[in-house]
Amino acid sequence: MSIELDHIILDVDDAEASSSFYADILGFGCEGEEGPFTVVRVSEGLTLQLSPRGTAGGVHLAFAMSRPEFDRVFSRVRAAGIPYGDAFDRVGTQTGPGEETGARGPGRTLYFLDPNRHLLEIRHHEREGGAARGETSAVGPLTVADFERLAHARLPRPAWDYYRSGADDEVTLARNTEAFASYEIRYRALVDVSAPRLATSVLGTPVKTPILVAPTAYHKLACPEGERATARAASRAGSLYVASTLATTTLEDVASACEAPRWFQLYVHKDRAFTTRLVERAKAAGYVAIALTCDTPVLGRRLADVRNGFGLTEGLALANLQEILPPDLRSGPGSELARFVASRHDASLSWKDLDWLVALAAPLPVVVKGIVRGDDAVRALDHGARAVWVSNHGGRQLDLAPATIDALVEVVAAVGDRAEVYVDGGVRSGTHALVALGLGARAVFVGRPVLWGLAADGEEGARSVLALLTEELDRAMRLAGCAELADTRHVVRRRG
């Protein structure tokens, strides 16, 4: 699939300064000056011209780009803080705060405002055949991208940036989703798929869907009820909920709202006595597993949070950590969370500490989250972990880390039948989930999509996202000739 871009304009207030700005964020060197324009080379046969406002500048292209190439070209725009979203598919007009959003005319236009209030305009041909993925519809949101756009419209910018952004240049953030295009589904014909069976179990706990809720922080930025609303949504969807250490609701309050099975995600603190108390609280509150996050000795640099000086708004707090929060946490430059992690998380955490945690958590099983290598997965099992969770923290820790769907293949091969393997990262559809299951994941965790639903419509929005993904998986399984989850292992392969 490709799309023809017939007009790209970077429309700016100040030709010299802004041209440099855009050349820098796009990550392409300026080749020279042509009159009032700065020419930026993107790839062979494609250039952009950066023009001052009011000129008739711009570049008229007869150039087709595949979706991965389009996303690569504009990934640097996302990294600069421009709310780019999924522009390849999004057909409509996104305007400034308080203005209406909608489509216009047969040559539709997308508008995005960057942090310096310069305007990026991308104009392309309208596709035939109705709404594209990501476009609003009179029948309500139809895709995760629809929920994402609703969340963007409703969230304050710092909260949106916190949820959406990744580390540094956000290469891994983009790579997580892009990598799914490297796989294909070799569907089987003439299979009875009248009643696909999606129910499964994780660590012996039955769930109605293999699409589960990953731990994410600060849900009260999206919805006043925060994690309680998300937990109820997971219950209604027949899913499993993983509560975050960095929640804005205590793990006990989450448990009281959650009829679904639940795990507790744990960061190990320098204060091991406090870490012990967190585990004991999770046991007492009825959590059935401890998910140790192992990829955060320090916090990845999330540029949007640094630029925004991001921190929790007044009235919100790290509810599980009240007894250890420093009184000056809100004071200082940059990201409040980065300061907290630097002061509290144990960067010396090693395999011997996993032995300690497994003993502490017993009889609850320990899942190690944040694995992208087969040898690390085997070590985790050797030190007592019961399952392995392939994750790169949603592209928020080490940039240039492998896409999790690619890492999954290596981890599954290394683990074999010793333990269950789970995966998160970049899953934006039920078809993505089918690919992950087909490559050997026992279950698939989603984080940002649930947050988009929560921001769009609270508990009901989060439930709707989980229901949507499960419905998409059901349909993809039918189309692929898979009557049950195990059948997906026979239809997915890497392209080429």
Give the catalytic positions in this structure. 393
* Residue 70 vs residues 2, 88, 141, 174, 178: alpha-carbon distances, Å: 9, 7, 24, 12, 11
At residue 324, φ and ψ (nearest 5 deg) are -120, 5
What span, in angstroms and rounded, lies between the C-alpha atoms of 148 and 154? 10
Beta bridge partners of residue 52, listed in sequence order: 12
Q: What share of the chain is helix, strand, coil (3-state, %, to 5)?
A: 40, 20, 40
- What is the pairing mode between strands 241-243 and 387-390? unpaired
* Residue among 138, 103, 216 nearest 454 (CA): 216
Backbone CA torsion sign across 334, 340, 344, 350: negative
What span, in angstroms and rounded, lies between the C-alpha atoms of 249 and 264? 13
* Residue among 317, 266, 264 nearest 296 (CA): 266
Peptide bond before residue 297 is cis, with ω within 30 degrees of 0? no
- What is the pairing mode between strands 387-390 and 420-424? parallel
What span, in angstroms and rounded, lies between the C-alpha atoms of 278 and 321? 9
* Residue among 409, 421, 436 nearest 367 (CA): 421
Q: Are 31 and 38 in contact (CB under 8 A)?
A: no
* Residue 438 vs residues 184, 191, 209, 430, 494: alpha-carbon distances, Å: 10, 17, 15, 12, 11
* Residue among 210, 116, 265 nearest 430 (CA): 210
Give start and end residues of each alpha helix (H) in 319-403: 336-344, 351-361, 374-382
